């Protein structure tokens, strides 16, 4: 092989290595660096378990997805108008599940629900169901109220330490009038990189390191 041809082949190999390394970093870097928390529950699949839209004096029936549409009802809206509502059925579990379609590190929440009830927000971690937040009732108020601050639909309830999960579940707690309603659940966090992404990221770093070493 001539010196010129050898030089060209060597250059192409170096270029290919650098291109692969840079591509790996560009593709993966956004998922492994910290970012401003966003509502990771937005527009995710929602399923209802048990009996819903039952009891009381009746009300509107809505799509379960309204819980994660990013829209809060007007403060004080009637509990069975525009939200997912239900009357407690003794002996029958009734809960709402939000599938995040991926694993996220979550640091804060907001929930809009009927005022005179408490709710429990659970999360899945390593095949265990754990409590993320005991959502309090809002006294001296009526209808749908946002937690933690009924007067501010932007204030988040911040966890003492972040949680990692791929699924959320909310249900009515013991305290309440047995008529429950949830209109919005928001969870703020960032994606947790998949193992394959971390491997690709590491490969990109190794590739750049090898290229720089050859240039030295």
For 165-210, write each residue's pLDDT tens digit.
999 999 999 878 999 999 999 999 999 987 654 444 455 455 555 5
112: nearest Cα among 58, 140, 154: 154
Could you tell me if residue 66 is left (phi over 0), alpha (psi between -120 and 50 degrees) or otherwise beta? alpha
The angle, 0 to 180 degrees and rounded to 10, between the axes of the packed helices 195-215 and 3-32 is 140
Lowest mean pLDDT among 5-14, 35-44, 123-132, 146-155: 5-14
* pLDDT tens, position by position, 32-60: 444 577 999 999 999 999 999 998 788 99
Task: Assess contact for 122 and 170: CB atoms under 8 A.
Answer: yes
Question: Among all chains, which residue has been given the structure tokens 């249900």?
Answer: 171
Q: Is the dihedral of CA 34, 128, 45, 187 positive or negative?
A: negative
95: nearest Cα among 69, 71, 129: 129
Higher pLDDT, 176 or 161: 161
């Amino acid at each position: 092989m001539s010196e010129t041809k050898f030089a060209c082949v060597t250059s192409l190999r170096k270029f290919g290595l650098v291109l692969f390394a840079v591509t790996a970093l560009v593709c993966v870097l956004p998922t492994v660096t910290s970012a401003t928390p966003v509502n990771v529950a937005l527009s995710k699949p929602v399923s209802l378990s048990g009996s819903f839209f039952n009891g009381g004096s009746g009300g509107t029936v809505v799509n379960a997805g309204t819980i994660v549409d990013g829209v809060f009802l007007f403060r004080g809206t009637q509990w069975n108008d525009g939200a997912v509502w239900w009357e407690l059925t003794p002996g029958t579990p009734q809960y709402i599940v939000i599938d995040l379609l991926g694993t996220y590190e979550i640091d804060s929440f907001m929930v809009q629900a009927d005022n005179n009830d408490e709710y429990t927000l659970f999360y899945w971690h390593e095949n265990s169901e754990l409590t993320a937040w005991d959502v309090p009732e809002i006294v001296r108020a009526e209808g749908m109220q946002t937690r933690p601050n009924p007067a501010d639909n932007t204030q988040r309830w911040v966890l003492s330490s972040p949680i990692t999960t791929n699924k959320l579940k909310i249900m009515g707690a013991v305290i309440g009038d047995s008529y429950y309603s949830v209109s919005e659940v928001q969870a703020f966090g960032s994606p947790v990189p998949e193992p394959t992404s971390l491997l690709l990221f590491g490969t990109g770093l190794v590739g750049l390191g090898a290229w720089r070493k050859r240039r030295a």
